[in-house]
């Protein structure tokens, strides 16, 4: 069985920004190796007897299934904790929740709105805290994304990824991820919807070490030109449903379709973190077409999450 090191054992997994390029490379290597074990039917009970508490303030399909199934396949047990199930939903402080859960669990995963809630949970928890998504960042998604690109392209350094759409949590984490692995990342967003300037500044500083180029444009065609990877996401994220109409107007020319794909490299792949609004940010022809790696990407959430858990808990 693949031998895991203690390189990041006991660490929180809140953002890819928090890890060195070497540590990010090791997480990706472990994800690939753990996937091989699972595909061969080889038992890999790295977390036998361990427990993970999963706090979900936001709905989920892939994150919940990946963590719950992943923990089972690693030999451990996962507990689903919705706001209706725990006192956090009735006003108990994050501090008290962290102090209690850390005495009973080996790790905590949280998927929530406010990024500060994850930071507060990690501050008071004595066991690793994994960020399953906030409005600011989505690091577990991007580990799965980079794993997928690695599988399809054989490497990451020097590739160009074009993210077409809202400068959201996925865009932010792609900037951090690209900066760590030496992958060029361009974000194409309408004016007023660009990535957070603080995140962009931090990612640019990270990129100085790897040589990655990071930039933001308003023209999707400019971003897509000669791209190795075209990535998109829904225009209105969870919690922004009231903005859907307004965003649809602003993002009308940001659809990933065959015309946009013709500007990318002929062997470019397409990614989408899902769920998708087919016919809005992406067409059926592209999503179901030969360049789509979207469902490989979705499956790789399982293997990526397993690697994150197995290496930190």
DSSP for 8-71, written as a single string: TTT--BS-GGGS-HHHHHHHHHHHHHHHHHHHHT----TTTT-EEEEEESS--SHHHHHHHHHH
- CB distance 105 to 51 below 8 Å: yes
Q: Which pLDDT does position 283 carry in this prediction?
A: 98
Q: Which pLDDT does position 53 carry in this prediction?
A: 98
Active site residue 273: yes
Q: Is the pTM of this model over 0.95?
A: yes
Provide the pairing of β-strand 184-188 with 229-232: unpaired
Residues of the chain within CATH 3.40.50.1370 domain(s) are 16-137+299-312, 143-298
Q: Tell me if the domain spanning 143-298 has CATH number 3.40.50.1370.
A: yes
- CB distance 56 to 111 below 8 Å: yes
Q: Which pLDDT does position 238 carry in this prediction?
A: 67
Q: Which pLDDT does position 89 carry in this prediction?
A: 66
The single residue of 11, 62, 115, 138 carrying the catalytic annotation is: 138
Active site residue 138: yes
Q: Which pLDDT does position 83 carry in this prediction?
A: 82
The single residue of 111, 172, 272, 305 carrying the catalytic annotation is: 111
Taking the CA atoms of 52, 56, 62 and 64 in sequence, report the sign of the dihedral they define: positive
Give the chain's end-to-end CA distance (angstroms, integer). Answer: 18
The single residue of 145, 273, 291, 303 carrying the catalytic annotation is: 273
Active site residue 303: no
The single residue of 166, 233, 272, 291 carrying the catalytic annotation is: 233
For the 16-137+299-312 domain, the top CATH level (class) is alpha beta
Active site residue 213: no
Residues β-bridged to residue 79 = 53
CA 279 to CA 252: how far, in whole Å? 11
CA 138 to CA 301: how far, in whole Å? 12
From first to last of its 313 residues, the chain has per-residue pLDDT tens of: 899 999 999 999 999 999 999 999 999 999 999 999 999 999 999 999 999 999 999 989 999 999 999 999 999 999 999 888 888 867 899 999 999 999 999 999 999 999 999 999 999 999 999 999 999 999 999 999 999 999 999 999 999 999 999 999 999 999 999 999 999 999 999 999 999 999 999 999 999 999 999 999 999 999 999 999 999 999 987 667 777 789 999 999 999 999 999 999 999 999 999 999 999 999 999 999 999 999 999 999 999 999 999 999 9
Active site residue 62: no
Tokens representing 143?
């580990």
The single residue of 17, 62, 301, 303 carrying the catalytic annotation is: 301
Using alpha carbons, select from 305, 251, 295 the residue that is nearest to residue 269: 295
The single residue of 57, 62, 106, 141 carrying the catalytic annotation is: 141
Using alpha carbons, select from 6, 35, 22 the residue that is nearest to residue 306: 35
């Amino acid at each position: 069985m693949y031998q895991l090191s203690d390189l990041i054992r006991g660490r929180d997994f809140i953002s890819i920004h928090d890890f060195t390029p070497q540590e990010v490379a090791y997480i990706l290597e472990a994800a690939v190796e753990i996937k091989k074990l699972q595909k061969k039917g080889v038992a890999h009970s790295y977390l036998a007897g361990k427990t993970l508490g999963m706090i979900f303030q936001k709905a989920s399909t892939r994150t919940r299934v990946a963590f719950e199934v992943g923990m089972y396949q690693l030999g451990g047990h996962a507990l689903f904790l919705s706001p209706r199930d725990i006192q956090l939903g009735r006003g108990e402080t994050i501090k008290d929740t962290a102090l209690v859960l850390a005495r009973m669990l080996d790790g905590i995963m949280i998927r929530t709105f406010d990024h500060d809630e994850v930071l507060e949970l990690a501050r008071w928890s004595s066991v690793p805290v994994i960020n399953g998504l906030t409005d600011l960042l989505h690091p577990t998604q991007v580990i799965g994304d980079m794993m997928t690109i690695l599988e399809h392209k054989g490497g990451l350094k020097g590739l160009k990824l074009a993210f077409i759409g809202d400068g959201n949590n996925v865009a932010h984490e792609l900037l951090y991820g690209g900066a760590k692995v030496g992958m060029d990342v361009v974000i194409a967003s309408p004016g007023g919807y660009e990535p957070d300037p603080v995140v962009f500044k931090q990612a640019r500083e990270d990129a100085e070490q790897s040589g990655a180029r990071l930039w933001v444009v308003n023209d999707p065609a400019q971003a897509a030109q000669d791209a190795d990877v075209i990535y998109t996401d829904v225009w209105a994220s969870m919690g922004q449903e009231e903005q859907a109409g307004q965003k649809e107007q602003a993002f009308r020319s940001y659809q990933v379709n065959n015309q946009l794909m013709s500007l990318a490299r002929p062997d470019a792949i397409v990614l989408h973190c899902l769920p998708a609004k087919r016919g809005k940010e992406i067409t059926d022809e592209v999503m179901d077409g030969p360049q789509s790696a979207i469902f490989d990407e979705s499956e790789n959430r399982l293997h990526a999450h397993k690697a994150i858990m197995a290496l930190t808990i």
